[in-house]
Amino acid sequence: MSSAERLIESTRELLWERGYTGTSPKEIQRRAGAGQGSMYHHFAGKPDLALAAINRTAEEMRAKAEAGFTVPGTAMERITGYLRRERDVLKGCPIGRLTQDPEVMADPGLRAPVEQTLSWLRDRIAEVLEEGRERGELAPGLDPRTTAATVVAVLQGGYVLARAAESTAPFEQAITGVLDLLAAHTSRPAAG
């Protein structure tokens, strides 16, 4: 790996573990095994390097989510698959956690990929739900837009509960709860 690559990957790890405010350029250099000169040769500074790291994490997150949404199945199956996918629950969401980082939120350039990723996710889930409604799988009264916001919020809040409890149990409960609530809005198959 080139030193620019190592710097980006080390920054991604540190942002996830310690956040932006809690990570110093020195720590990034140490983890990347790169000197200060190398870091400032490749990147204008910590914000520039963090932006490269956040953009890459955001792209990965979208690609993984999209892979779940495009599988065959009912809307309910695709949403379930997405929510039940294996995750590093106790580490939390590498994008969502940045919303608690005061220096990321204060920098419009760093906040933009966080906003875009979470807003894309809501849009994408709303589309899946809308498709389900059009195919008659979901009750016509279900609002795709607000339900999608609920689904993404449950995921993000589930991480908060799991981290507080140092256990994945409340995350799993929150996911089960929202899927059970949603299940009542699926159209029952005609009796065979």
Helix axes 46-69, 3-18, angle to 10 degrees: 80
Under rule CB under 8 A, residue 102 binds a copy of itself: yes
Q: What is the DSSP letter of 24?
A: -
Does residue 177 belong to the site contacting a copy of itself (CB under 8 A)?
A: yes
| Using rule CB under 8 A, residue 125 touches a copy of itself | no
In terms of DSSP H, where are the helices of the chain?
Answer: 3-18, 25-32, 36-42, 46-69, 75-84, 102-105, 108-134, 144-165, 169-183
Residue 24 touches a copy of itself, criterion: CB under 8 A = no
- Can you tell me which of 96, 110, 124, 130 binds a copy of itself, judged by CB under 8 A? 96
CA dist 134 → 123, 131, 142, 148, 152 (Å): 16, 5, 11, 16, 21
Of 37, 166, 190, 192, which lies in the binding site for a copy of itself, with binding defined by CB under 8 A? 166
- 75 vs 185: CA distance, rounded Å: 12
Q: Which residue, 6 or 122, has its beta carbon nearer to a copy of itself? A: 122
Rounded distance between C-alpha atoms, residue 14 and residue 82, angstroms: 26
Nearer to a copy of itself, 4 or 179 (CB): 179
Least separation in angstroms between residue 98's CB and a copy of itself is 8
Residue 132, interface with a copy of itself (CB under 8 A)?
A: no
Residue 60 in the binding site for a copy of itself (CB under 8 A): no
Residues that bind a copy of itself (CB under 8 A): 17-19, 21-22, 92, 96-97, 99-103, 105, 111, 114-115, 118-119, 122, 139, 142-143, 145-161, 163-166, 170-171, 173-174, 176-178, 180-182, 184-185
